[in-house]
Amino acid sequence: MKRTKDEVIGIAFSKLKPKNNEVFADIGCYSCKVSAFFSPYVKKVYAVDVNLSNVDGKLLKECKNIELIQAHGVEFLETADDVDLIFFGGTDRIEEMIKLAFNMGVSRCCISAARMEVAVKAKKALETIDVFREILAVNVWRGYNLAGYTAFRPINPVFLVFGHI
């Protein structure tokens, strides 16, 4: 199952700095791993995806403030009006989603992109509305035992792009 890595969630969390009175949206939530992580730290979480069949119910058992929404991020953002910060795990139509998000009053966002071209598109979209803050290339290597010694195995790299008013 493809999920956002814990280390990537940690970086996004530290940069987004959620507050307990804020509403968080996880757009392109897939398994809801990011939603479940942010849940204890915010007032409400919207977990949005076009396909909710990948949601991991075990992750959500203790999360009472998560609302699952089956929709494209654009559709969700066209009707939402109470979101303060967003993690974009899905990047289809990312430029449109970024514009909608900041027009509705979002103050901070993080875009997670596996492809450099998508990360650059997101960066340019944030620059266009003067909210771009930073872009990171994150590559994590996990240790494992190899013939009695420690070796490292890379985890797929990801780009994180941050916007902030």
**In the chain, how many domains are there?**
1
pLDDT at residue 28, as a whole number = 97
Tell me the pLDDT tens digit for each residue of 80-92: 999 999 999 999 9
Domain of residue 33: give its range: 6-164
**Over the stretch 108-145, which tens digit does the pLDDT of each residue have?**
999 999 999 999 999 999 999 999 999 999 999 999 99
Q: For residue 5, what are its two tokens?
A: 């890595």
Give the residues across from 135 on adjacent strands: 161
pTM listed for this prediction: 0.95
Is 42 among the domain residues? Answer: yes
Any idea what the CATH number is for the domain that residue 59 is in?
3.40.50.150
Contact 26, 87 (CB under 8 A): yes
Q: Are strands 85-88 and 66-70 parallel, antiparallel or unpaired?
A: unpaired
Domain contains 1: no
Residue ranges with strand state E in the chain: 23-27, 44-49, 66-70, 85-88, 108-113, 132-138, 141-146, 149-154, 158-164
